[in-house]
Copies of this chain bind each other. A is one copy, B any other.
Amino acid sequence: MTQPSRLAIVPFVSVDRMMKLVLAIGVERFLTELAAYIEEDFRRWELFDKTPRIASHSHDGVIELMPTSDGRLYGFKYVNGHPKNMREGRQTVTAFGVLADVGSGYPMLLTEMTILTALRTAATSAVAAKYLAPKGARAMAIIGNGAQSEFQAVAFKALLGIDRLRLYDIDRSASEKCARNLAAKGFDITICSTGQDAVEGVDIITTVTADKQYATILTDNMVGSGVHINAVGGDCPGKTELHRDILLRSDIFVEFPPQTRIEGEIQQLDADHPVTELWQVMTGQAEGRKAPEQITLFDSVGFATEDFSALRYVRDQLQATGLYEELDLLADPDEPRDLFGMLLRAAMQPAA
């Protein structure tokens, strides 16, 4: 087979290459640089084509497509959410994504996004907390110590200087796994036996549990004044983590209201309950934290622009690192109108 031309080739970052990329850059620096891309895109929020994700729900979970574009680049992510997968040795969430050139419609990057989504979710939480967490925050509770927990911890250390962690999970071995993975990362870590214990004296509460149901990970009495809540786990219809009363005491910050009202903690509230859009805080059009006693809540569900930022960031690392493969994804006949002829000529090539 003749080699496909350069136009037909799409750079591909496999899981293996993504791990090498993160390790080559360093996970802290990766999160910090990625956070800057995410913040940059939030600041030019109004430029983006925004649409709630396109979800295909089934009994066991959901498959979603999350497209967006800034008019120059187009990105989308494929992501599933299947809580039962864990029991079968599979990931609850797996993802991959594509960045494309709006001018030609040609894909420029195909990449795994299971690891990348974990990174961008944590980076987004940390960016939000920069604007919302109490000044000088050092201690964070992480409730739910699954696949996302370490990424949250490292992002909050890299961006905010959080260095004291209080871990809680209904499965203590998950907390132990989290503590073990973070052992060399410079944290003071306490494993707690209740959620109540975990939130004791912290500045930030991160909830990142995985069950697809209405749960009450935090009850109202657990949340003291001045705390920032980073609610990451409640991210689809029927899946919430916080008691409704907490929401009523908090100032709530969201990514994209039409999506968050369906998927976030605020699905528990009236459709017109006031929320503040994160991008407006970043651009100075709205206030973030106003007072030390205020309870701030980032009702994170994950939005397409964050994946777009992550795709942009990965794309920008390829040339320097060479950590990609070349995928023969696009048909590229010598003569664009001659797709059939390309097929006929392939029959005359010697076998590869």
A: residues with CB less than 8 A from B are 1, 4, 7-8, 12, 14-16, 18-20, 22-23, 27, 49, 51, 54, 56, 58, 60-63, 65, 67, 69, 71, 74, 76, 78, 80-82, 85-86, 88-92, 94, 96, 98, 100, 102-107, 112, 114-115, 118, 145-151, 174, 177-178, 180-181, 327-333, 335-344, 346-347, 352
Beyond contacts A91-B339, A147-B338: 15 other A-B pairs, Cβ-Cβ < 8 A, are: A15-B331, A16-B352, A56-B69, A60-B103, A61-B105, A82-B103, A90-B106, A91-B331, A91-B333, A94-B331, A96-B330, A112-B329, A147-B340, A148-B339, A149-B340
Whether the pair B343, A115 counts as a contact (CB closer than 8 A) is yes
Whether the pair B96, A337 counts as a contact (CB closer than 8 A) is no
**Closest CB in chain B relative to A144 CB, distance in Å:** 10
Contact among B14, B105, B146 with A337 in the assembled complex (CB-CB below 8 Å)? B146
Whether the pair B91, A340 counts as a contact (CB closer than 8 A) is no
Give the interface SS of chain A, mostly helix, strand, loop or mixed: mixed
Nearest B residue to A344, CB-CB: B181
Contact partners of A80 in chain B: CB under 8 A: 100, 104-106
13 contacts between A and B (CB under 8 A): A14-B328, A54-B54, A56-B74, A61-B105, A76-B78, A80-B106, A92-B336, A94-B105, A94-B106, A96-B329, A146-B337, A150-B341, A181-B340
Nearest B residue to A93, CB-CB: B105
Number of copies: 2
Contact among B88, B107, B329, B352 with A104 in the assembled complex (CB-CB below 8 Å)? B88
Q: How far is the CA of A330 from the CA of B114 in the complex (A)?
A: 7
**Closest CB in chain B relative to A3 CB, distance in Å:** 9
Contact partners of A20 in chain B: CB under 8 A: 346
Q: How far is the CA of A103 from the CA of B115 in the complex (A)?
A: 21
Whether the pair B337, A86 counts as a contact (CB closer than 8 A) is yes
Whether the pair A177, B54 counts as a contact (CB closer than 8 A) is no
Whether the pair B76, A105 counts as a contact (CB closer than 8 A) is no
Contact partners of A103 in chain B: CB under 8 A: 58, 60, 82
A15-B328, A340-B147 in contact; A65/B63 too (CB < 8 A)? no
Q: How far is the CA of A51 from the CA of B346 in the complex (A)?
A: 36
Q: How far is the CA of A69 from the CA of B58 in the complex (A)?
A: 10
Contact among B62, B180, B343 with A19 in the assembled complex (CB-CB below 8 Å)? B343
**Closest CB in chain B relative to A337 CB, distance in Å:** 4
Whether the pair B74, A65 counts as a contact (CB closer than 8 A) is no
Contact partners of A89 in chain B: CB under 8 A: 7, 336
